[in-house]
Amino acid sequence: MLRPAITIFLISLLPTRYTLAQQPVNPYSYHIQKKTTVTHGAVVSAHPLASQVGVSILRQGGNAVDAAIATQLALAVVYPAAGNIGGGGFCVAHLAKSPAATHKPGTAKTASPAGKDIAIDFREKAPAAATRDMYLDANGNPQPNLSVNGHLAAGVPGTVAGIFSEYKYARLPFAKLIQPAIDLAENGFVITAAEARDLNSSQGAFKNYNTVQPVFVKGAAWKAGDTLIQKDLAATLRRIRDQGAKGFYEGQTAQLILQEMKRGKGIITAADLKDYTAKERQPTIFPYKDYTIVTMPLPSSGEVVLRQMMKMVETQPLASYGFESVKAVHLMTEVERLAYADRAQYLGDRDFYSVPVDQLTSRAYLQTRMKEIPADKAGASKDVRAGVLSPKSEETTHLDVIDAAGNAVSITTTLNGGYGCKVVVAGAGFLLNNEMDDFSIKPGVPNMYGALGTEANAIVPGKRMLSSMTPTIVLDKGKVYLVVGTPGGTTITTSVFQTLVDILDFQMDADNAVNQPKFHHQWMPDVVYVEPGFPAATRDSLKVMGYNVAQRGSIGRTEVIRVLPGSQFQAEAVGDSRGDDTAEGY
Ligand code: GLY
């Protein structure tokens, strides 16, 4: 589906062009670009200014990791609904062969000559004072609002620790990477129509859950072209620039978090903050046909759910069924149902709970599971349980970066719901996450995405909550072919799954794979959700087969970079039309 790049010019409010760190990023006049073809490097993210900041870093000689860090920090300013320093996320990266392309001279870490795939876990953790039943009342009834809104909903933030873990693989001075974000916060930027709409829809929540009114609260309604200035956030970013991770987890920023916790009866302590560390984990790597999929391990459910879905459809002639044909949607929906039933039963933080990953992803197990798929009719979730093993055992945001040296970074980061728990740390200017809701607050009680869980994902102090975030890179003969990811709560894994098979099986270009309507099934509730524009004939046939089909709003905001064939580096980068997402590059 080729559509022209959507270009929205915001009216410049200031007569002079403002220059960020000597780079031509104008926060008062910018446009949304959906697609670009590049020969040097590309950045796709949820906001045009963040994408432009990333490209400015590539142009200054930064590698994909440098650009990803700068983009991530800029998103924390220009996309406060999900970009963050008060949340967490995952980073998957492929570092190409050349050490010179990926490492600062003189640093101890060197890239393997064969290239290297890395996975960095900066997921939030349950505070030490968290308890398994902290969101139940005296009668054992769930109080879901407590895990969603307000101070008690926040997990210990991981993003800043994650950024410094990523920085080991960067090349430029950190001050250069963070300065655009500081400038955007200090001097402001004009907001888009979508941002104005989102800020307006959360005014009541900001007023309810904050102890000190944040800059996001405004007397009159926000409108496109208004300038958002965040001085407190700029000061916090400067402390991070000058003191590193300690500028967030200790000192003044930590004190401001603790004071906020005290005013709002939150439970995050100085020790929780000081003890937080990001973890570099072994990425999940598995073959799919002639490709190699590199994705995030637990606590991303992608390690199991994406792998199960891909390996189950790999055995079938999916491409011959046709894109969004009844046969293809039936197969893909049924594998989604099976994988999400296993997710609910078995998945959680493996640092705390033994997850039987090998069994869940074994060929024999998946073959047995495939036998549960009824031919020519809908399965029924009430009859589908997690597989039996032999004893032993939405608001988020994504960014992709690639550089001409073959380094690629795929980062999904989140506050969980839009604007997280709605609490801005007074004096520090950043929003806290509501990631505690990604735990199972009680078996059988759905979280805000309708996901169920059990013991595997119960709350334990210091444990990381299960996530759907699935930043992914596809390699073709050891070189980056695709960089993919999306926000969307539980729809993340199915959106990544569909985007991969759309490109790898249905041979779509990146634009179509991103923008064609998606569908989603997560076992419970037993509904196939389809986006507007999903083919009516397929939908009608699915109903005849017994599926409960419901149209919902948009699914995900998928970003894709696809390397094009040829001896010289060339790539297409596509930002999702479902939001302000922008692809930039040169
Ligand atoms: N907060 C969404 C996720 O991690 O799945």
Which pLDDT value is given to residue 186?
98
Closest-lying ligand 1 atom to the alpha carbon of residue 468: 5
Ligand 1 center–CA 564 separation, angstroms: 31
Q: Are 181 and 237 in contact (CB under 8 A)?
A: yes
Q: Can 396 be counted among the known catalytic residues?
A: yes
Ligand 1 center–CA 123 separation, angstroms: 9
Closest-lying ligand 1 atom to the alpha carbon of residue 437: 1
Say whether pLDDT at 333 is over 90.
yes
Say whether pLDDT at 48 is over 60.
yes
Which pLDDT value is given to residue 107?
41
Range from 314-318, 449-453, 460-464, 522-526 carrying the lowest mean pLDDT:
449-453
Ligand 1 center–CA 306 separation, angstroms: 15
Give the residue with greater pLDDT, 433 vs 442: 433
Q: Are 513 and 560 in contact (CB under 8 A)?
A: yes
Q: Are 208 and 44 in contact (CB under 8 A)?
A: no
Say whether pLDDT at 17 is over 70.
no
- Average pLDDT on 345-374 reads 96
Residue 91, by phi and psi: left (phi above 0), alpha (psi -120 to 50) or beta?
beta
Across 6-113, the runs of DSSP E, i.e. the strands, are 35-38, 41-45, 88-95
φ and ψ of 532, to 5 deg: -55, 140
Q: Whose CA is nearest to atom 3 of ligand 1?
A: 467
Which pLDDT value is given to residue 115?
85
Distances (CA, A) of 355 to 298, 343, 466, 493: 9, 10, 12, 18
Say whether pLDDT at 104 is over 70.
no
Q: Whose CA is nearest to atom 4 of ligand 1?
A: 467
Burial of 510 (0-12, 13-18, 19+ CB in 10 A): buried
Burial of 473 (0-12, 13-18, 19+ CB in 10 A): buried
Short-list 89, 43, 88, 92, CA closest to 64? 43
Point out which residues pair with 228 in neighbouring strands.
189
Ligand 1 center–CA 268 separation, angstroms: 20
Which pLDDT value is given to residue 114?
60
Say whether pLDDT at 13 is over 70.
no
Short-list 372, 384, 367, CA closest to 316? 367
At 64 the three-state DSSP class reads helix
Distances (CA, A) of 377 to 521, 545, 546: 15, 4, 6
Q: Is 232 in the pocket of ligand 1 (CB under 6 A)?
A: no
> Quick one: tokens of 333?
């929906």
- DSSP for 352-413, please give it: TS---HHHHT-HHHHHHHHTTSPTTS---GGG--PPPPPS---EEEEEEEEETTS-EEEEEE
Closest-lying ligand 1 atom to the alpha carbon of residue 416: 1
- Average pLDDT on 338-346 reads 96
Q: What is the pLDDT of residues 286-331, one digit of tens each?
A: 999 999 999 999 999 999 999 999 999 999 999 999 999 999 999 9
> Quick one: tokens of 422?
């709605």
Q: Whose CA is nearest to atom 1 of ligand 1?
A: 416
> Quick one: tokens of 294?
């590199």
Cα 387–Cα 543–Cα 505 angle in degrees, nearest 5: 65
At 475 the three-state DSSP class reads strand
Which pLDDT value is given to residue 113?
47
Catalytic residue, candidates 396, 493, 494, 538: 396
Say whether pLDDT at 519 is over 70.
yes
Residues above pLDDT 90, as percent of the chain: 87
Give the residue with greater pLDDT, 390 vs 183: 183
Q: Is 457 in the pocket of ligand 1 (CB under 6 A)?
A: no
Short-list 526, 574, 529, 578, CA closest to 550? 529
Q: Are 245 and 276 in contact (CB under 8 A)?
A: no
Q: What is the pLDDT of residues 464-517, one digit of tens each?
A: 999 999 999 999 999 999 999 999 999 999 999 999 999 999 999 999 999 999
Ligand 1 center–CA 492 separation, angstroms: 8
Q: Is 438 in the pocket of ligand 1 (CB under 6 A)?
A: yes
Q: Rounded to a whole number, what is the distance in angstroms from the first to the last CA of the chain?
A: 23
At 38 the three-state DSSP class reads strand
Q: What is the dihedral of CA 495, 498, 501, 502, to 10 degrees?
A: -110
Distances (CA, A) of 200 to 218, 541, 580: 9, 40, 17
Candidates 397, 468, 494, 495: which one to mutate for ligand 1, based on the most atoms within 8 Å of Cβ? 468
Q: Is 515 in the pocket of ligand 1 (CB under 6 A)?
A: no
Residues whose CB falls within 8 Å of the CB of residue 345, separated by 6 or more in sequence, listed in order: 385, 386, 454, 456
Confidence of residue 387 (pLDDT cuts 50, 70, 90): confident
Ligand 1 center–CA 210 separation, angstroms: 23
- What gap in Å lies between CA 276 and CA 257, rounded to an integer? 14
Q: Are 139 and 201 in contact (CB under 8 A)?
A: no
- What gap in Å lies between CA 368 and CA 533, rounded to an integer? 34
Q: What is the pLDDT of residues 112-133, one digit of tens each?
A: 446 899 999 999 999 999 999 9
